[in-house]
Chains A and B, each alone.
Chain A
Amino acid sequence: MKTIAYRASATLLVIFLGLCVFSLLVFAGSKSRGPLEDLAAGVTSKVAYLEKSMAGGYSRTGRAAALQRFDRYRTQTGLLNAPDTLLTGVYDNNTEESYESVTTLEDSLGFKLPIIHFYTAWGSRKDQGFPQLRAQTISDLGSVPMITWEPWLNDFDPAVYPVPGKPSQVNANGLTAIAAGKYDAYIDKWARDAKAFGKPFFLRFGHEMNDPYRYPWGPQNNKPADFIAAWRHVVTRFRLQGATNASWVWSPHPAYTTYREFYPGAAYVNWVGITTLNYGTVAPWSKWYTFDEIFGKAYDEFSHYGKPLMISEIGSLGVGGNKAQWFKDALASMPFKYPAVKAVVLFNNSNDVSTTYKALDWSITLDKPVLTAVREAVGGWHPATASPAL
């Protein structure tokens, strides 16, 4: 009996000591991880920048040189927030390792795109911090980065960001938690890194917040007042960190006219973004809408906010109508019909799985008639906008 007690206690002691050592190592790891990652991210972007400045002399011949006339928007937040021209841009889903898909599209269109749009989610993973390298890459290519920042809350480490209730319900009342400061550590870090990036960028936070069927930050989990409180809180955290280079794009879905209730106020918004996607007849709930049918109704109301307007996602599927005609109708008269619109961002997504079970292809890269329609429509803009030739 004595031996058993002795052996059992020795075993327990060993396991306890082993666990202590293990916890100590993990603790030390979690404490040093942040600074080490910052260091690594810094080194990575420095090396990328150095390599680019050494390689091939892109400063004179590259894309940035061709986009030089937009440099004033790219480098001054004030001008970006009060533009006197109509900017074009694109989101492309094939940009994991390279923006060649964008330059290929530009070559087909015959003009360069001063805005490059991408999406990133909130969370604790390393790739969920401020996308330093990607923002720098876009900036070095001569464009303004546009970041759609999606407040998914499921990717946060529960040890660092504890929430009451089940982990699966982290998104319920998520915006209230954000407004209450539960995620300030994450927001502040992101804002500081954004400030360190230094150049203006569009920040489209919590887009389509009025769509009750899409995202967890929508009305199914939150009241409009919760959204406003969260938005204001996030903007305030950025201002406290000095990250004034973020240009805030409030971007509701025009199909749900409740959007007025979600407006955070003129002091917290720089741009108003509107999603304008035509699903055609791809699903039972959809039908072919022209651009004017989707956007026209909302235009008057949106322009009353006195902010520059952005078509933050423009696109059409090809099922149920003529895609090239749709783009022609949408873009040709844009500056004349909708003068408050100051940016149009193509939704060139060849693999959209966010809405239907089947992947949807919004891309125009290989669609000659659409490319021609867009090229000709945008080519007709200059007189009205008095902008330099694209």
Chain B
Amino acid sequence: MRKTDNAALWEFREAATSTFARKATLASLMVAGVFSIGRLADWWFREEHVASLPLYLLLTFIFWWGIARMVIVWVSYLRISKPRWQAPQDGLRVAIFTTSSPGEPLSMFEKTLEACARISYPHTTYLLDDTQDPRFREAAERHGAVWLELVGLPGAKAGKINAALQRTTEDFVLVLDPDHIPFPNFLDEVLGYFRDPQVGYVQVAQAYYNQYRSFTARAAAEQTYGFYGPTQMGMHGLNCAVAIGANCTFRRAALDSIGGHGIGLAEDLITAIRIHAAQWKSIYSPIVVSRGLVPEDLGSFCKQQLKWARGVQEVLFAEVPRLWPKLSFWQRVSYLTVGTYYLSGLTTALFLLIPYLYFWFGWLPANMDFFGFLDHWLPVGLVSLSIYVFVQRWLCHPEAERGLHWRGTFLKFACWPVFFMGFVLSIWDGEIPYIPTAKRAVKQFTPFVRPLLVHQVLFVATLAYVVVRRFYYTPEARLELTSANTWGMVLFAALAFFMTLGGLYAAYQSLKTKAEDPWASVDLTRITDRLQPARKHKSAA
């Protein structure tokens, strides 16, 4: 399937505005949700449900952790808002920073630099280069960009950005990932917000153009749709919108006030929390004014996730406590929620363990009747699903992004070992291990797939053990009364087995995905921002 040149992707997009009726509907759903959760809690926390207290507490933690996060997201949805577009002032001095590193394909830079040149608001593009490859300099100069050689700086991208800040003077800096192809109206869309002198940075959506190339790519993209739509819009409403490292335009004064761009595995988040703590305002604008690449193979995706999981928890341990007094209430909630996102690796691992504890040791965490649970959980589930679907009206590109995002769910499930590893590493303050990128010629399974394979083998072996034990070694007098618990737990474990198949499929497909240069088929002349002619900067007319 080759849809990277699909014209619909190369149009300016923006999320819907929030109206009173929409908010009222959403709020009604949330009231129903809160009552349903109250009813569920009233049922859950009953003494008769405790089978083994430690396990019950563990199960309660896993389950209510998820519910609490969901409620926090709901509350932020109530504050969904979209900043009102303002025409940028004339004569602002704007820099675009994009970085290149050894091994990155030159042709991608050709495309990105050419697209930068087509951005209509006057600006200077800088290529922050440490490839030591003369062709990169030639490409930059051919597209009117300034080439800055920044070799051997610590802190990867952020180190180069800080060095470039020293060597430039523009008041506004757009940090653009080199795989992102900006639309001509990019700066016209964001610069107006800096009329408010309090605004420190303006983040826009990250959208992709290669999600159709593989299951992993599509699943990874699906995981981001909600975040760049209703979630960040809600965070914007609470002045908590986070910078995402790419597609973020900073006010130089804001970066200066925190001593430059943050350095670390989650440098974007470090920068955002520091700018918030320095009392700057943040803007999130739900618009698509660039499209980039999402990882296409499972190995790259997992590497990216591991880096984030480790980095985000570093922010939780290192930045949040330090900056706590300077953050607003909702900023605290927001950074705590973001900082603990990858804890789902731990909760999923524990969740997976439950049926095995029963099979191996006969431990049951709770005496909960399945239908009693269903009766109390279903209203919560249905309301939550309704809210999930309802807020999709605030996606940046609803026609393409709507749905139940089952691929994203499968992939997130399959990544629990990655998140878990990130969690463990951040407790130990360990380094991310070096995981070589599979050479394109040598096709092999990514090492991230091993825990999944172990899980599958464990399931099959345990199933065999259960069947043999039940059929040959269980006393007749025990068989029937334990049948429901045993096969119920088998079903529970089988669900995880089934979910893991998604990850294995992604790994298998990653073996066969042909390496291509998706940017090659992108025709920059077909990018349309015509939907918003009024907003175009007059210099481009």
Q: Do A and B bind each other?
A: yes
> Do A19 and B32 form a contact, CB below 8 Å, given A99-B477, A141-B476?
yes
A51 touches B477 (CB 8 A): no
A126 near B478 with CB under 8 A, answer no
**Do residues A22 and B371 form an inter-chain contact, with CB atoms below 8 A?**
no
* Interface size range of chain A in the complex: 35 or more
- B374 touches A (CB below 8 Å): yes
Return the chain B residue nearest A61 by Cβ. Answer: B476
Given contacts A21-B29, A25-B382, A126-B369, contact A97 B478 (CB under 8 A): yes
Say yes or no: is A37 at the interface (Cβ < 8 Å to chain B).
Answer: yes
B466-516 CB contacts (< 8 Å) to partner A: 470-472, 474-484, 487
* With known contacts A51-B470, A52-B476, A44–B483 Cβ distance under 8 A: yes
B27 lies within 8 A of chain A by Cβ: yes
Query: How far is B483's CA from A133's CA once the two chains are assembled, in angstroms?
Result: 10
Which of A7-15, A208-216, A344-352, A365-373 makes up part of the contact surface?
A: A7-15
Of the candidates B378, B382, B481, B487, the one whose C-beta lies within 8 Å of that of A97 is B481
Q: How far is the CB of A376 from chain B (nearest CB, A)?
A: 25
Judge if A242 is at the interface, Cβ distance under 8 Å.
no
Across the interface, B379 reaches (CB within 8 A) one of A22, A126, A136, namely A22
Chain B residues positioned under 8 Å from A15 (CB to CB): 31
A169 CB-CB contact with B under 8 Å = no
Contact with B along A80-120 (1 / 0, CB 8 A): 00000000000000011111101100000000000000000
| Interface SS of B by simple majority | helix
Query: Hey, which chain A residues are within 8 Å of B29, CB to CB?
Result: 18, 21
- Per the bound structure, the CA–CA distance linking A70 and B483 in Å amounts to 26
Residues of A within 8 A of B484 (CB): 44, 47-48, 133
**Contact, CB under 8 Å: A49 / B24:** no
The verdict on A22 contacting B477 (CB below 8 Å), with A15-B31, A17-B28, A48-B483 known, is no
Please give, as numbers and ranges, the residues of chain B lying within 8 Å of A95 by CB-CB distance: 481
CA distance A329 to B418 in the complex (A): 71
Instruction: Check if B90 is an interface residue, CB within 8 A of chain A.
Output: no
B480 proximity list for chain A (CB < 8 A):
48-49, 51-52, 133, 136-137, 140
Asked if B425 is at the interface (CB within 8 A of a chain A CB), the reply is no
Within 8 A of B (CB), among A116-159: 126-127, 133-134, 136-137, 140-141
Q: Is the CB of B477 within 8 A of A100?
A: yes
Please tell me if A359 contacts chain B, counting CB pairs below 8 Å: no
From A13, which residue of chain B is reached at the shortest CB distance?
Answer: B24
Which residues in B have their C-beta under 8 angstroms from that of A25? 32, 36, 378-379, 382-383
Interface string of A14-35 (1 = CB under 8 A from B): 1101111110011001100100
Given that A100-B478, A102-B477 are contacting pairs, would A51 and B375 also be in contact in the complex, using a CB cutoff of 8 Å? no
Is B434 interfacial (CB-CB < 8 Å)?
A: no
| Contact call A40/B382, Cβ cutoff below 8 A | no
Pick the residue among A10, A19, A40 that contacts B371 (CB under 8 A): A40
B31's partner among A17, A49, A63 (CB-CB below 8 A) is A17
Is A165 positioned at the interface, with any CB of B under 8 Å from its CB?
A: no
B447 at interface, CB cutoff 8 A: no
Q: Does A256 reach chain B (CB closer than 8 Å)? A: no
Q: Does B45 contact A (CB under 8 A)?
A: no
Q: Indicate if the CB atoms of B35 and A18 lie closer than 8 Å.
A: yes
State the CA gap A88–B2 with chains docked (Å): 77
Nearest chain B CB to A47's CB is how many angstroms away?
Answer: 6
Closest to B27 in A: A14
Q: Contact between B371 and A37 (Cβ–Cβ < 8 Å)?
A: yes
| B105 contacts the other chain (CB 8 A) | no
Q: Name the residue in A14, A63, A100, A126 with the highest tally of chain B Cβ atoms < 10 Å from its Cβ.
A: A14
Cβ of A336 under 8 Å from chain B: no
Tell me the complex Cα distance, A51–B27, Å: 49
Q: What is the minimal beta-carbon distance from A174 to any residue of chain B, in angstroms?
A: 23
| Interchain CA distance A22-B378 in the complex, whole Å | 11
CB neighbours of B370 from chain A (8 A): 40
Task: Give 1 or 0 for each of B329-350: 1 = CB within 8 Å of chain A CB.
Answer: 0000000000000000000000
Q: How far is the CA of A99 from the CA of B481 in the complex (A)?
A: 9
Residue A79 is within 8 A (CB to CB) of chain B in the complex: no
Q: Is A198 an interface residue (CB 8 A)?
A: no
Given contacts A29-B375, A40-B371, contact A22 B476 (CB under 8 A): no
13 contacts between A and B (CB under 8 A): A18-B32, A20-B32, A21-B29, A22-B31, A22-B379, A25-B32, A29-B378, A33-B371, A51-B479, A51-B480, A52-B476, A98-B475, A137-B480
| Seed contacts A22-B36, A98-B477, A141-B477; 19 additional CB < 8 Å A-B pairs | A14-B31, A17-B24, A17-B25, A17-B28, A18-B27, A19-B32, A25-B383, A48-B479, A52-B483, A55-B474, A56-B471, A58-B476, A98-B482, A99-B478, A103-B475, A133-B481, A133-B484, A134-B481, A141-B476
Report A's interface with B, CB cutoff 8 A: 10, 13-15, 17-22, 25-26, 29-30, 33, 36-37, 40, 44, 47-49, 51-52, 54-56, 58, 62-63, 95-100, 102-103, 126-127, 133-134, 136-137, 140-141
Ranked 4 nearest A-B pairs via Cβ: A18-B31, A17-B28, A98-B478, A21-B32
